[in-house]
Amino acid sequence: MIDFMSPSNRQRLRSAALYDTAEDVIDDKAMELTQEIFDLALRPTVGRWLGLVEGHHFAQLKTGDTTDMRLCQMLKAPFLGTCGVIRLVFDRSGSRVPVTLWVHHGHGNGQTGYYPLSRLERTSADQEGVDVFAIGHTTKLGHLVKNRMGYRWDHGGAAYHRTVHLIGTGGYSRAYIEGSRQGRVPRGGYAEQQMLGPAVIGSPTLIIRPTRSKDSHYPILKVEA
């Protein structure tokens, strides 16, 4: 999170008709937080991102862009907007092996650890040709493999199967912190106030093995969590 307002806070702020000087102060603070997360955690990753999608927590700047877009500039990464579809093509001994990734910040919430996977099951049913679906937002870590059947009609016809991976990308913010305070008040954060479960810290690792099986032209994907 690189801003200090919720989406509803931003909506109220836009309707407040603030002076330019007040908007400048807010923009400066938002960019200060963006620079802070870049310096503390993300600087070593510059140039290593396939792209970033926006989430719920960004600041809309007077210049018309957002702190998410500015962070992408710092990271030398493409800004993919709300939802990104990324296609990687590997050259394996002269044979092209494509892999397609569908990524989204995520939306909504659920108490169960299965929530992001159940949401992705519905979403993936409407998408063709995608190998990996991934969302965040809930900070729940999960991985589910779905098998899909396909049919080829060349050379006499054949049936084949391919795997689709559904991934909840996890998170890195602790839900419960002993002795947490807000100002002088002993008070927990959002997760504690909403009686949410403790967060699992970490993310799955997606390992792509660009090989073809003898009976399918789809790549073999391996996911480790």
Are both 63 and 140 inside the same structural domain?
no
In a domain, 90, yes or no: no
Residues 69 and 14: beta-carbon distance below 8 Å:
no
Assign 40 a pLDDT band (cuts: 50, 70, 90): very high
In a domain, 186, yes or no: yes
Tell me, yes or no, whether 131 lies in a domain: yes
pLDDT at position 19, please?
A: 64
pLDDT-derived band of residue 51, with 50, 70 and 90 as boundaries? very high
Are the beta carbons of 79 and 193 closer than 8 angstroms? no
pTM for the whole structure: 0.83
Q: Is the residue at 86 inside a domain?
A: no
Indicate if 110 and 60 belong to the same structural domain: no
* Average pLDDT of every residue of the chain: 85
Does residue 94 lie in a domain region?
no
How buried is residue 113: exposed, middle or buried, by Cβ count under 10 Å (0-12/13-18/19+)? middle
Count of structural domains within the chain: 2
Is the pLDDT score of 47 beyond 90?
A: yes
The pLDDT, as a whole number, for residue 70 is: 95
Is residue 2 predicted with pLDDT exceeding 60?
no
Question: Can you tell me the mean pLDDT for 78-104?
Answer: 89
pLDDT in tens, 122-141: 999 999 889 999 998 888 88
Domain around 35: 1-81
How many residues in the chain?
225
More confident of the two residues 214 and 151: 151
Together in a domain, 188 and 159: yes
| pLDDT for residue 80 is more than 80 | yes
* Helix-helix angle 20-37:67-75, to 10 degrees: 40
Distance CA 115, CA 140 (A): 8
| Residue 210 included in any domain | yes
Boundary-marking domain end, from 81, 111, 140: 81
CA geometry: angle 30, 32, 35, nearest 5 deg:
110
